[in-house]
Structure 1
Amino acid sequence: MNKILNSFIKNERHQRLIGKASNIAEEARLHVKAADREAAFSDETLNVIKQEEYPSFTLPAKYGGEDLSLYEFLLLQETVAVGDGSTALSMGWHLGIMMELSEDRPWKQETFERLAWEVASEQRVVNRLATEAGTGSPTRGGVPETKAVKREGRYVLNGRKTFASMADHLDYYIVSAFVEDLDEVGWFLIDRHQPGLRVDKTWDTLGMRGTESDDLVLDGVEVNEQDLVEVKGQSKPSPKGWLLHIPACYLGIAVAARDAAIEFATSFQPNSLDTTISEVGHIRDKIGEMEWKLMQAHSFMYATARKWDEEPEKRKKMGSELAAVKLTVTNAANEVVDLAMRIAGGRGLSKQQPFEKFYRDVRAGLHNPPMDDAVLRMLAGEALDQ
């Protein structure tokens, strides 16, 4: 267990859950180079994830889950991310979706319960697929180009989804589409074995390559009416605490970079010095700055998570706080990794060192929603309205 994260463990339950997350992190760490090289999610890591029953953790206990609080969810996700950010981010989508479905209940009871029991008993993994090349981020309000047309009591879907994390390893896809007969955006729960589905191996990015965020192509996919599980216009948008899994992931990457930088600084001694570089003034300054930034980021994120857990009556008004956490933490994580790179110097660019991967991976956090500009305008609007 990382020393920084250890300070956030409060009880024996946390110790038990952290132990499971640490096992996943250790397994993921073994496969990061192959996953990064191949742009694929590790089969071996997913096996351990399922052995630890991690996919069911955010489900209520009555469905076989661990009924995680938001605080616990973030703690476990950050732990996994210290081992591998791609693994954490990928599983964060699944776990967050199950948490949202459990708490908000936007689906029919029998549909949710069927999926919940499958996740608990067989450790099924799901993800929402909303992003498309032509519409950009769904948070910007774009209408899906994927279409659902009703024919003889069934829906036929055609389209392409991008950023489908764990694309080839998911058991179910929750796909957004414009439903023509309803003139609304809807969500369809689709089994991965449904005819007409295929994964197009398009994922070739700078960072977070191990998320396997390929394209999902829907070519005449036929589903039943009951597979339309949610219609956008029927549910009011509300703040989503579970989306803090995003900053938790990138904070874990920053912690891993900090650890690697300290190990490097305390072991590297050039022949121009009588000591390791950890005794050099500007190196110590950089280490101190990393600690300061990590303290701020952790305090803000976990304080907000505790507020979410302990004061549920305030959740509807926490949208700006949640967004501010994402803005603060992902930017701080980028700054910490940059400092780690500066400590390692030119050696940090080598593929033989972990720093260049941390540098590539943490950058992706700036492009996960909500975007910095949207958060700043939200905060400015609230301040001016007051």
Structure 2
Amino acid sequence: MKEDTPMAIADTIPILRKAEELSKTFSDRAAYYDENNLFPKENFNDLKQAGFLALTVPKQYGGEGLTLRQFLEFQELIATGDGATALSLGWHLGVILEAGEKQNWRGRAFEQLCRKVVNDQILLNQAATESITGSPSRGGLPSTSAVKKDGGWVLNGTKSFTSMAVALDYSLVTARISGTDTKGTFLVDHRLPGVGVRETWDTISMRATKSDDLYLDHVHIKGEDLLFTHSGKPSPESWYLQVPAVYLGIATAARNEAVSFAQSFSPSTLPGPIKDTPEVQRKIGEIDLELFTCRHVLYGTVDKWEQKPEKRPESASELAATKYVVTNSANRVVDLAMRVIGARSLSRTSPLQRHFRDVRAGLHNPPSDDIVLVNIGRKGLG
């Protein structure tokens, strides 16, 4: 059986062809970074050399200007090699894609940051989650504060789950503007005094994302570093579909591992490889149907977003449902792949045990399953 790949057109598009090449290299390195709980510097050096940090930068600012669909296809492909690298990169690329789409940053801040991405290969991410307030998807104001002083701002607070924290050049930090109930997003240069990282990340999943704590201790920034303020109901964020795209890529890698094993493993109790047994065929059939469904749900949602922009304000529940369907299905795929391989999949040398641990993280990326189901239920009940 032919190896499953995210996109059949990968060999016709230079970017995806290079991504496929890098994903194989990343796969070879994945165990090392996972076992040692390290940020994958080599992978990001390769991504920088390929110019991939600028994939979602608009063309007028020197980037590739990938569409949402192209971005997700790329993410899925990179994730077949290393999910942690893909998820981390996706935060950087997604933030840029969203800002370019919404055009809600003040002045020329977006253009200037894009130029830095293209020319200086800077790495950035959002810093929104806090251990006290939890995920931003559950609402509530951040405890991180922004106080106006001398025409600028002073930031104090701690952000958790800040992927790539040890390698970031800039963060987009959410903070409550002192004396108000207004939340702002601020651009923070990590070279500034008072910006630091506490390496608290010690999980069993997505270890190489290095999602450590970012702390801000009386960090002085300029007035124009307030990029925008948040008002009203948050608008749907399509770029966040990079989350299910990444876990779909991990599931695809698990599927390919199971197929390869089934094609080559011939126990003494059988006349040939286990691929000839009905039970293995049934499990691979289940896996491929799960992946088939995932891709249709994910890219169907993307196509609707891109082709019917007038429907975007009402698409929040559909985006959340897509994340729910794909991440849960990805977990089922990895489970089935491990059942095909059997106890060997539990070996520390097997990539399946890493895929199993990593794919679990998708269930905890926001929005959480309970919120998705309750909101869909409320909508259905009227």
TM-score of the two chains, using structure 2 as the length reference: 0.96
Percent of aligned pairs with the same amino acid: 45
Does the CA-based 8 Å contact 1:146-1:160 persist in structure 2? yes
Identify the residue that residue 39 of structure 1 maps to in structure 2. Answer: 37
Letter in 2 for 1:329: V
Worse-superposed segment, 40-49 or 270-279:
270-279
Distance in 2 of aligned mates of 1:203 and 1:6: 33
Letter in 1 for 2:334: V
Identify the residue that residue 378 of structure 2 maps to in structure 1. Answer: 381
Does the CA-based 8 Å contact 2:87-2:246 persist in structure 1? yes
Does the CA-based 8 Å contact 2:146-2:155 persist in structure 1? yes
Does the CA-based 8 Å contact 2:57-2:65 persist in structure 1? yes
The reply on whether 1:214 has 2:212 as its aligned counterpart is yes
Partner SS state of residue 5, structure 1: coil
The reply on whether 1:270 has 2:267 as its aligned counterpart is yes
**Match 1:83 to one of 81, 84, 87:** 81
Distance in 1 of aligned mates of 2:345 and 2:10: 35
Does the CA-based 8 Å contact 1:171-1:191 persist in structure 2? yes
Number of equivalent positions: 381
Distance in 1 of aligned mates of 2:272 and 2:28: 32
Partner SS state of residue 109, structure 2: helix
Does the CA-based 8 Å contact 2:31-2:351 persist in structure 1? no
Distance in 2 of aligned mates of 1:94 and 1:349: 33
User: RMSD of the alignment, in Å?
Assistant: 1.6
Letter in 1 for 2:41: D
Distance in 2 of aligned mates of 1:286 and 1:361: 21
Distance in 2 of aligned mates of 1:221 and 1:97: 22
Identify the residue that residue 133 of structure 1 maps to in structure 2. Answer: 131
Letter in 2 for 1:257: A
Question: What is the CA-CA distance between 1:269 and the residue it aligns to?
Answer: 1.6
Question: What is the CA-CA distance between 1:207 and the residue it aligns to?
Answer: 0.6
Letter in 2 for 1:125: L
Cα 1:10–1:20, aligned 2, differ >3 Å: closer, same or farther? Answer: closer
Q: What are the residue-to-residue correspondences of 1:63-212 with 2, within 5 Å?
A: 63-212=61-210
Letter in 2 for 1:284: Q
Question: What is the CA-CA distance between 1:311 and the residue it aligns to?
Answer: 1.9
Distance in 2 of aligned mates of 1:26 and 1:376: 36
**Match 1:331 to one of 318, 324, 328:** 328
Identify the residue that residue 56 of structure 2 maps to in structure 1. Answer: 58
Question: What is the CA-CA distance between 1:45 and the residue it aligns to?
Answer: 0.5
Gaps of 5+ in 1: none
Distance in 2 of aligned mates of 1:236 and 1:110: 25
Alignment deviations for residues 309-331 of structure 1 (CA, whole Å, 9 cap, x no partner): 22222222222211111010000
Letter in 1 for 2:178: E
Worse-superposed segment, 179-188 or 193-202:
179-188
Identify the residue that residue 287 of structure 1 maps to in structure 2. Answer: 284
Distance in 2 of aligned mates of 1:119 and 1:371: 31
Distance in 2 of aligned mates of 1:38 and 1:189: 31
Does the CA-based 8 Å contact 2:57-2:114 persist in structure 1? yes
Identify the residue that residue 313 of structure 1 maps to in structure 2. Answer: 310
Partner SS state of residue 187, structure 1: strand
TM-score of the two chains, using structure 1 as the length reference: 0.95
Letter in 2 for 1:6: M
Does the CA-based 8 Å contact 2:105-2:228 persist in structure 1? yes
Partner SS state of residue 80, structure 2: helix
Partner SS state of residue 158, structure 2: strand
Letter in 2 for 1:175: V
Distance in 2 of aligned mates of 1:224 and 1:316: 33
Distance in 2 of aligned mates of 1:247 and 1:349: 24
Identify the residue that residue 255 of structure 1 maps to in structure 2. Answer: 252
Letter in 2 for 1:73: F
Gaps of 5+ in 2: none
Partner SS state of residue 6, structure 2: helix
Worse-superposed segment, 168-177 or 326-335:
168-177
Identify the residue that residue 351 of structure 1 maps to in structure 2. Answer: 348
